[in-house]
Amino acid sequence: IAGITQAPTSQILAAGRRMTLRCTQDMRHNAMYWYRQDLGLGLRLIHYSNTAGTTGKGEVPDGYSVSRANTDDFPLTLASAVPSQTSVYFCASSDSGDGELFFGEGSRLTVL
Amino acid sequence: AQRVTQPEKLLSVFKGAPVELKCNYSYSGSPELFWYVQYSRQRLQLLLRHISRESIKGFTADLNKGETSFHLKKPFAQEEDSAMYYCALNLGGYSTLTFGKGTMLLVSP
């Protein structure tokens, strides 16, 4: 059972470069989310999508963009990476909106 | 403003000791609260939610609206409980959860 698949698992990136983190789910969940996890700061919501074709901003959206062209895919793009975007990024999905999120394994991004 | 507060970054106990991981929230509406857990080398997953009032892996959590708290408790900690625990609050529709900063629980033999 795949659930949520994220790619890449880990990436080192030069500052100023563009980067897209991929997220795919096979559960046909309506809602998808991107969080970043930082030591001492916990998980913070970057962007979310309640259904295909719609997106919304979370707590820390600056420097990130998302798209939701279909139900399964929810890529996160850093247009011009900066060192403060060094983090572990988690994609998640939810079907019923009851608070149960299903998470991917995370993508560790280092911006130098 | 911080909506979910977990005051302890690290909680270290011995096997068999009681455990209480603290969570306080700030929300004027009717809160939906959750505990998520991340074991080493595993995905973050839902542990329990206040609506269900269930016990999972021996853990319970009671919503106290007067104290705006949702503390996670277990009477006898096990080594396999060692993990990062996050308290989360659903602020709006469709599971846009706000997480606390997390508490690392270490259970020593």
Q: Chain A closest CA to B93's CA: distance in Å?
A: 7
Q: What are the CA-CA distances from residue B29 to residues A62, A96, B91 (Å)? A: 28, 20, 9
Q: Mean pLDDT, to the nearest integer, of A57-73?
A: 96
CB contact under 8 A, B102 and A31: no
**B100: chain A residues, CB-CB within 8 Å:** 42
- What's the pLDDT tens digit per position in B12-56? 999 999 999 999 999 877 888 999 999 998 999 999 988 777 888
**A50: chain B residues, CB-CB within 8 Å:** 93-94
* Mean pLDDT rounded to a whole number for chain B: 91
pLDDT attached to residue B94: 67
Q: Is the pLDDT of residue A111 over 80?
A: yes
Cβ neighbour number for residue B51 with a 10 Å cutoff: 12
pLDDT attached to residue A1: 58
CB-CB contact of B57 with B82 (8 Å): no
pLDDT attached to residue B17: 97
CB-CB contact of A9 with A105 (8 Å): yes
Out of A99, A105, A106, name the one closest to residue B97 (CB). A99
Contacts of A52 (CB under 8 A, 6+ apart): A30, A68, A69, A70, A71
The distance from CA B98 to its chain's CA centroid, rounded to whole angstroms, is 13
Q: Higher pLDDT residue, A41 or B50?
A: A41
Could you tell me if A100 lies within 8 Å of chain B, comparing CB atoms? yes
Pairwise CA distance, residues B50 & B70, whole Å = 8
Pairwise CA distance, residues A111 & B21, whole Å = 34
pLDDT attached to residue B28: 79
Could you tell me if B44 lies within 8 Å of chain A, comparing CB atoms? yes
Q: Is the pLDDT of residue A72 over 70?
A: yes
pLDDT attached to residue B6: 96
Confidence of residue A85 (pLDDT cuts 50, 70, 90): very high
pLDDT attached to residue A95: 86
In chain A, which among 9-38 make CB contacts under 8 A with chain B?
Answer: 30-31, 33, 35
CA dihedral of residues A90, A94, A100, A102 (deg, nearest 10): -40
Q: Higher pLDDT residue, B95 or B90?
A: B90
In the structure encoding, which two tokens stand for residue B33, read together? Answer: 């609260």
Sign of the torsion angle spanned by Cα atoms B82, B58, A99, A96: positive
Pairwise CA distance, residues A49 & B22, whole Å = 30
For residue B56, the surrounding DSSP H or E stretch is none
pLDDT attached to residue B2: 59
